[in-house]
Structures are given as C-alpha cells and as structure tokens.
Amino acid sequence: MPKILIAGMGATGESVAQYLYGQGVNFAMLDQRRDLPAATRLKEKFPEQKLFLGDFADVNLRRFETIVLSPGISRKHPEVIAAIDAGIEVI
C-alpha cells in the first residue's frame, strides 16, 4: 500500500511521480478530472502505481502518510483540510 499520494496530475504532479518512480518509491496518483487526457500515458509510465480519477471524497486520504499537492489544488479544499486535521503531512 503506497504511503504517498500525488494530488493533481498536471505537469508538476507528473514530474513528482517521475522523481519518486526513479527513486523506487511506491505512490498513488489522484486527479479530479475523470477524463484526464494524460491517464493512459501515466498508466504506461508508472504501471505499478495506482491512478485515481475523480473527487477527493472518492479516495480515503487518511490511508496516506503524505499528500503532495500540485499547485492547482488549494490547501483550503475541504478534503485537504480534513487530511491536515488528521495529522497527514501535506506538502
């Protein structure tokens, strides 16, 4: 089970994924767009990593130790606030 969630799979999120993958770190990815244009490419680049598409509420954020937010996702998002309140590291 991955301990790191990358939230937002635009250019920054994909760059973070590439770095973690190169380091051999297990992670999961989340993008709020259910029709993410890069979904197929991400699944091909990172085949062992889980890709969630949809709302934060669709994923149990409390199962992660760290959430890496892409710049397009606000720390004021209710699910992000709940994760912070639960003691999850959000960077």
SS3 22: helix
On whether the CB atoms of residues 42 and 14 are closer than 8 A, the answer is yes
Please give the pLDDT value at position 56. 87
| Residue 63 CA to its chain's centroid (Å) | 12
Please give the pLDDT value at position 65. 97
- Strand-pairing partners, residue 53, are 31
Q: Print pLDDT tens along the chain (91 aa).
A: 789 999 999 999 999 999 999 999 999 999 999 999 999 999 999 999 999 999 888 898 989 999 999 998 999 999 999 999 999 999 9
Please give the pLDDT value at position 58. 84
